[in-house]
Amino acid sequence: MAYLLIIDDDPAFRSSLSEMLTDLGHQVREVSHVQAGLQSLRTEPVDLVITDLKLAGDDGLAFLRQAQHIKAVPCIMLTAYASGSNTIEAMRLGAFDHLTKPVSRQVLMQSLQRALPERTVELATEQHLPPEGLAEPLIGNSECMRQVFKQIGLAAATEATVLILGETGTGKEEVARALHRNSLRAHGPFVAVNCAAIPPDLMESELFGHVKGAFTGAVADRQGYLRQAAGGTLFLDEIGDMPLALQAKILRVLEAREFSPVGTTKTLTLDARIIAATHRDLPGAVREGQFREDLWYRLQVMPILLPPLRERGADLLMLAQHFLAREASGRPKRLTAEAAQKLVQHDWPGNIRELRNTIARAVILSHHEHIEAGHISFTQRPQAIEGGAWSPVSMTSGSQPSGATLAERLQQLEREMIERALRESGDNRSEAARKLGLSRQQLYRKLEVHGLA
């Protein structure tokens, strides 16, 4: 038997929950508001608290903030209005779990079993009902995304290094920004660095900074990203593309929390939290000698794996509606059933980024308030001919008119080759340059020319 405290201002729900917990053999006390709950915590034996988020007066988050100064007990937050932000905030403030109403007997008992491991709780066979509501910055109510929100909340309350893993376009930077917003460093800067976009010979100077005269062209001291992020968060996106030599120096920064600008032996203290992300298979890169094994393990303090869009169920249409509202410009548009079905049936290799662009294109093509199936079109990959060469089919039947000059057709073919190389390399520009037989600098210039930068 455990002593459980329920805080909820809905008498019918409170009574039903109390009856369920009493049937499981626990002793239950019910209160209707936060102050009564805090008083019970001060004066009575309490092993676990179950509180609603939305309460008359102070809410469940206010209870969490004050309870941590009274007694350390696990707290399960319930809400009918689940969102990414309130899930993250609840977990950051120390909630043991965050469940959505209506909560099933099985799910509640599983949470109790984890919160009170020394107690025995009988498991039932009810199914977990889908949560309701819509998240704000990070959108999704699928179970896999709720787990992500919980991990963000737990990690945000610490200074631990976080590694965000996921396919291209799954929203890794949004997760990094959510970690920053909900951390103790939220008042500081959030500095995002795309490691794949910086030439290898410039990356050390960009990250660590340099002093005047450190190398040809260093005409003045320069603060690197590590110093620019002081007091806040440094987000190293696509860390899997970082050169091996620099990986060793980043490992040193993570271990010793210090670094030296290029051209000086002066040691500076790191005052930033580091969050890293990659779409690459880092264990595979370690086996191939392209990523340091010791850095891989050092980044594994708190890994967060983002699910691809195709595995997020109803989140797809929630995201689509979100992008429709954002693109509306004062004239909201709606998806027809056929258009929604077409979106659901697509496998979304480009994930959320692809969905956002698809919705933006559909809004442009639609001249009335409904988005129909005919307005939904997906990015077509260039077709390859036998032997893996690049196909010029679209040159005669696609974007270039039949009377295009040779130079125009070559330009279009070059663009298609670059786009395909980037897709096949997962937007890894070093690998794309190798596929195309170009240097990184040549590829960057061509990306600028074709508007792909």
Q: For 107-166, what is each residue's pLDDT tens digit?
A: 888 788 777 754 433 322 222 222 333 233 578 878 888 889 889 988 988 889 999 999
Q: Which helix (H) or strand (E) holds 283?
A: helix 282-287
Residue 278 and residue 303 in contact, taking contact as beta carbons nearer than 8 Å:
no
* DSSP states of 348-409: -TTHHHHHHHHHHHHHHH--SSEE-GGG---PPPPPB-TTSPBP-HHHHHSSS-TT--HHHH
Q: How far apart are CA 276 and CA 295, in angstroms?
A: 11
Top mean-pLDDT range of 112-116, 292-296, 334-338, 449-453: 292-296
Share of the chain above pLDDT 70, in %: 87
* Options 1.10.10, 3.40.50, 2.60.120, 3.20.20; CATH of 393-449: 1.10.10
Q: Does the reported pTM lie above 0.75? A: no
Q: Please say if the pLDDT value at position 414 is more than 90.
A: no
**CB contact set of 362 (below 8 Å; sequence gap of 6+):** 339, 371, 375, 376, 377
Residue 283 and residue 292 in contact, taking contact as beta carbons nearer than 8 Å:
no
Residue 122: burial class (beta carbons within 10 Å; 0-12, 13-18, 19+): exposed
Output the pLDDT for position 329.
67
Output the pLDDT for position 409.
64
CATH 3.30.950.10 is held by the domain 312-375: no
**CA torsion angle for 75, 97, 175, 159 (degrees, to 10)?**
50
Determine the average pLDDT of the residues in 383-399.
38
pLDDT band at 291, cuts 50/70/90?
very high
Q: How far apart are CA 225 and CA 192, in angstroms?
A: 9
Q: Which residue has the higher pLDDT, 296 or 326?
A: 296
* The two structure tokens encoding residue 300: 């594994």
Output the pLDDT for position 330.
64
One fold for 3-138 and 158-305: yes
Q: How far apart are CA 418 and CA 301, in angstroms?
A: 36
Q: Which helix (H) or strand (E) holds 326?
A: helix 315-327
Peptide bond into 102 cis (omega under 30): yes
DSSP 257: S
Residue 144: burial class (beta carbons within 10 Å; 0-12, 13-18, 19+): middle
How would you label 358-390 residue by residue, b for 16+ Cβ within 10 Å and e otherwise? Answer: bbebbbeebeeeebbbebbebeeebeeeeeeee
Q: Which residue has the higher pLDDT, 118 or 192?
A: 192
* The two structure tokens encoding residue 362: 């559909």
**Rg, the chain, Cα only:** 26
Domain 158-305 in this protein, CATH class:
alpha beta
Count the neighbouring beta carbons within 10 Å of the beta carbon of residue 345.
7
- Name the amino acid, one letter, at 78: L
Residue 363 and residue 324 in contact, taking contact as beta carbons nearer than 8 Å:
yes
**CA torsion angle for 441, 443, 444, 447 (degrees, to 10)?**
160
Q: Where are the domains of the chain?
A: 3-138, 158-305, 312-375, 393-449
Output the pLDDT for position 410.
65
How would you label 419-440 residue by residue, b for 16+ Cβ within 10 Å and e otherwise? Answer: bbbbbebbbbbebbbebbebeb
**CA torsion angle for 363, 366, 368, 369 (degrees, to 10)?**
-40
Share of the chain above pLDDT 90, in %: 21
Q: How far apart are CA 448 and CA 105, in angstroms?
A: 57
Output the pLDDT for position 143.
84
* The two structure tokens encoding residue 99: 């469940």
Q: Of the ranges 218-222, 267-271, 283-287, 384-388, which one carries the lowest mean pLDDT score? A: 384-388
Domain 3-138 in this protein, CATH class:
alpha beta
